[in-house]
Chains A and B, each alone.
Chain A
Amino acid sequence: TQLLEQSPQFLSIQEGENLTVYCNSSSVFSSLQWYRQEPGEGPVLLVTVVTGGEVKKLKRLTFQFGDARKDSSLHITAAQPGDTGLYLCAGGQDSNYQLIWGAGTKLIIKP
């Protein structure tokens, strides 16, 4: 069974601080996606990384795919209250459309 371990599961920090969320697996993925979900809504795609070592930036968010394509990280610089939400990582495989989901990180940014 493929697993994608996401940590931390919960994080509450002050506005302006930096944070990193990790997703790790023993399996190789063809792609790694990060989603953000707000209460009562569906997840919204933030980014997809497909190449080992790839780094993508989305304003204050930096996403990295590990060289071996088994892990990924999301780093937020100078977090804002608007960053509050549930962050989900999901690994994709070439064989089908299904995704392997991390447990999610509930992030709260306090003003």
Chain B
Amino acid sequence: GAVVSQHPSRVICKSGTSVKIECRSLDFQATTMFWYRQFPKQSLMLMATSNEGSKATYEQGVEKDKFLINHASLTLSTLTVTSAHPEDSSFYICSAPPSQEGNIQYFGAGTRLSVL
């Protein structure tokens, strides 16, 4: 299957700082990528759809000014958590669907964000 790389895998930061998470498709181009948030023992919650060369589409209740998404190339999307607070602590996961494989999404390994 296709490979999606997500970095960093874990980050600890102070309240008020910004954190950038990168998601790269290593062996395919992705015009669309997805960003999810996952709480302990729960399923994935879609935060936003990242679109190459255009604005991201945010799900209801997700603050676009809080979670900045940039998809500047066909292999890279970034999620920046701005002015992070303890309630932003969570597991963030990105995914990308290779265009030739329909709805199948390949996932990054996730980023554990802890805001102190």
A and B physically associate: yes
A residues in contact (CB < 8 Å) with B: 6, 30-31, 33, 35, 40-45, 48, 50, 86, 88, 90, 92-93, 97-99, 101-104, 106
Alpha-carbon distance A30/B97, docked complex (angstroms):
15
Most buried by B among A35, A42, A50, A106: A42
A98 touches B46 (CB 8 A): yes
B41 touches A106 (CB 8 A): yes
Chain A residue, CB-CB nearest to B97: A97
B13-44 toward A: CB 8 Å interface, digit per residue (1/0)?
00000000000000000001010000001111
| 14 pairs, CB–CB < 8 Å, chain A vs chain B | A30-B102, A31-B104, A33-B105, A35-B107, A40-B110, A42-B4, A45-B105, A48-B103, A88-B43, A92-B103, A97-B97, A98-B34, A99-B105, A104-B41
A97 touches B105 (CB 8 A): yes
Alpha-carbon distance A99/B32, docked complex (angstroms):
13
B104 touches A48 (CB 8 A): yes
With A42-B6, A43-B107, A44-B107 in contact, do A101 and B102 touch (Cβ < 8 Å)?
no
With A97-B32, A97-B97 in contact, do A43 and B44 touch (Cβ < 8 Å)?
yes
